Amino acid sequence: MTGSFANSTLGPALRQAAHGVDVPEDPWPGFARRERRHRRTRLIRTALAAAVGVVLIGVQSNVVPLPGWAPGIAVAAPAALLDAPPRGALAEDRAWLDTLRTRISTDLPVRIEAPVGSWKAGDRDRIRLLYGSDQPGQRVALVAVPLRFGLLTREALVWYVGPAGAGAQQMRYGGHSEDATDPVMTLMQVHPDRAGFAVVVGPAASTVTISGEPRYTSRGTLEYQDIARADGTGIGIAVLPPEPLPHEPVVRVSHGDQVFFQGGLGGGPYAGLDPTGPEMDALLTGARRPTRGTPLDDADLLTFVQTALQDSRLPAAGTTVRVRWAGRDHGQSAALLTVQPSGGGVIAYAMHGDDRTGWWTDLRLLLPVAGVDKRPIGWRVRTEDGTRPPTGQVRVIAPPDAARVTVTVAGAPPVTVALDASSAGTAQVPPARPATLTAYARDGGVLGTTPLPPVETDHDAGGLPGNSPATRVTP
């Protein structure tokens, strides 16, 4: 059948038709070629991505150096000082500054630690002098240094110090800003065998004071021994005695009513207090005389007295401490005591606490000497952990000769405070409302009045008693 069909007249026609059919080639070789190309492309892309990743990791960890001029991602900068013009005698010494720039970028690197690696100095041409001077007996420079940590960039404020008239090669690293957004930079150096110095640089329009020993006047005011010398607008310099200093110098940088910084300079060491010295023993002996309420044990008394002396920056010698009242507050030891330097004003302190939960200062109030023993004293009771704001409760301590005490809240009639056997009582005063305490004698005459102080803010707490309206009664 088949043979006859192939040899039939149809055979040539069928063979011709079969040759005309387009039979596709085997697809596998073409697929294999395309796949090989795709694999090569993917491998090249993966290798490039891995290489870029390694470089980025190396750059970010500062293993692979990046040119200082290369752009980066900027983080916060201290604009308050960076925006100010250069100040000080060295501001125009371009040759000296150019040499310092080279040193900073080479053998005086700024290394501020990061979680992995450290920040390093960036483009030397962007290093700028903010302040430079030869006072007092030192060459001091505050410099804005661009830093780089991989792709991240920032600016730091860095101190450099050398002897007076020092060339840039003699300058040494003296410290840097921990918080680059601070509007004020301070530097203090003290030495055991020679005078030290303090330098404060604030905003260009600010006033700088550096205060030494405080003086609490008998009028109930606070005066400072101002030891700062102005060195241009926004700059303060002070010469300090050899260490140890009696107390930490206090700095205030302000412009009108705006206070940029108020607090201690830091550093030290300071002479401090000797709790075992003869002056402290004599002071504690006088403070232990009979008091109203529950007597304090020796350890609590020592803690309260030390806290008051350290806060007021008063020495034990020549200072008198009296415990006006002692009792319990939140189940802890509590006391009202007064501290008075010889010939000076009287500072009332209310405190409570224990070794387990800590110690809290509830009141710091500078009072005039005149009539101090006839004044009622009160303070707003805080929560158990001593935090702000306080409760609406007020603790009131009457003077010794008082028959009664009233509290007068602004806009309301006076309310008599119920006093216990220790002449202590409590009253309710809304936290935001001012009030006045008045003590009366047995014949009905007024013994004395005292305003109820507002709660100190965190800003007020940085100063000495009497430094703010919240810590004094004298306007």
Token reading at 88? 């000080």
CA dist., res. 334 & res. 326, Å (int): 6
Q: Give the distance from CA 280 to its chain's centroid.
A: 31
For the chain, the distance separating the N- and C-terminal CA atoms, rounded to the nearest angstrom, is 133
How many Cβ atoms from other residues are within 10 Å of residue 16's Cβ? 9
**C-alpha angle 435/263/162, rounded to 5°?**
170
pLDDT of the residue at 71:
44
Token reading at 227? 């030891």
CA dist., res. 353 & res. 351, Å (int): 7
CA dist., res. 314 & res. 264, Å (int): 15
How many Cβ atoms from other residues are within 10 Å of residue 437's Cβ? 25
The phi, psi pair for 255, rounded to 5°, reads -145, 105
CA dist., res. 320 & res. 347, Å (int): 11
Q: Which residues contact 427 (CB under 8 A, 6 or more apart)?
A: 378, 393, 394, 396, 407, 415, 417, 435
CA dist., res. 376 & res. 264, Å (int): 32
Q: Which residues contact 205 (CB under 8 A, 6 or more apart)?
A: 233, 234, 255
Q: Where are the beta strands (DSSP E) in 283-330?
A: 292-293, 319-329
pLDDT of the residue at 57:
43
Please report the sign of the dihedral spanned by the C-alpha atoms of residue 356, residue 358, residue 359, residue 362.
negative
Residues forming beta bridges with residue 154, ordered by sequence position: 147
CA dist., res. 94 & res. 432, Å (int): 56
Q: Which long-range contacts (CB under 8 A, 24 or more apart) does 262-268 make?
A: 262/459, 262/462, 262/463, 263/462, 265/186, 265/188, 265/198, 265/210, 266/186, 266/188, 267/188, 267/189, 267/190, 268/190, 268/243, 268/244
The answer to whether the beta carbons of residues 174 and 160 sit under 8 Å apart is yes
Token reading at 382? 């805080």
Q: Where are the beta strands (DSSP E) in 206-289?
A: 207-216, 222-226, 229-230, 235-240, 250-255, 258-264
CATH numbers and ranges of domains, the chain:
68-78+94-131+140-177 (no CATH), 183-271 (2.60.40), 278-471 (no CATH)
Please report the sign of the dihedral spanned by the C-alpha atoms of residue 77, residue 172, residue 209, residue 361.
positive
The phi, psi pair for 347, rounded to 5°, reads -110, 120
The answer to whether the beta carbons of residues 335 and 351 sit under 8 Å apart is yes
Residue by residue, pLDDT tens for the chain (475 residues) are 444 444 445 555 545 554 555 555 555 566 556 666 666 665 555 544 444 444 434 444 444 454 544 443 434 444 678 888 899 999 999 999 999 999 888 765 555 554 445 667 778 888 999 999 998 789 999 999 888 777 777 788 899 999 999 999 999 988 888 555 678 999 998 888 888 899 999 998 899 989 888 899 999 999 988 888 777 789 999 998 887 777 788 888 998 888 888 888 876 666 767 788 899 999 999 998 878 999 899 999 999 999 999 899 898 999 999 999 999 988 899 999 999 999 999 999 999 999 888 899 999 999 999 999 999 999 998 776 656 666 789 999 999 999 999 999 988 999 999 999 999 999 999 988 999 999 999 999 999 999 999 888 765 666 789 988 999 999 8
Q: Which residues contact 405 (CB under 8 A, 6 or more apart)?
A: 376, 396, 398, 416, 417, 419, 425, 437, 438, 439, 440
Q: Residue 97: enclosing H or E segment and its boundaries?
A: helix 94-105
Q: Name the 3-class secondary structure at 53.
A: helix
The phi, psi pair for 233, rounded to 5°, reads -65, 130
Q: Give the distance from CA 267 to its chain's centroid.
A: 14
